[in-house]
Amino acid sequence: METINVKTNSRIELVDITDRVQAVVSRSKVKNGVCFLFCPHTTAGLTINENADPQVQRDIINTLNKLVPENAGYTHTEGNADSHIKSSLFSSSLTIFIEDAQLAFGTWQGIYFCESDGPRSREVWVKVMQ
């Protein structure tokens, strides 16, 4: 298992980690297998989405903020209830096929770390199996 460290700069942010995950796959020397990703945080998550147009990331963030506003009278006392809810809309883990030593994606897909309570230093755990 390898750990990818992610430093976020905003309270809510999508960080493209596709190249970093591919680097782990390349180091593993696995030609055909599976890549497992896990986010060990309750206010962050993972998703696969379009990585060609950065406006998609902005649209996702804007929609999340409309659906789950920051100060909406939540009972969670730490002041980050919206962050827990937002991260629940994403996944804590992803599974991606590896074909010919490359992550197998659709044409426009990439992997995003989804920060909901930043800025912070975070981790994504990566396991590659044959």
pLDDT per residue as tens digits for the range 112-124: 999 999 999 999 9
Cα–Cα distance list, 11 to 22, 39, 55, 107, 121 (Å): 26, 17, 18, 29, 12
pLDDT at site 98: 98
Q: Average pLDDT over the chain, rounded to whole?
A: 97
Question: Of all residues in the chain, what percent carry a pLDDT higher than 70?
Answer: 100
pLDDT digit string, tens, across residues 58-90: 999 999 999 999 989 999 989 999 999 999 999
CATH 2.60.120.460 at 2-129, yes or no: yes
List residues bridging with 48 in a β-sheet: 111
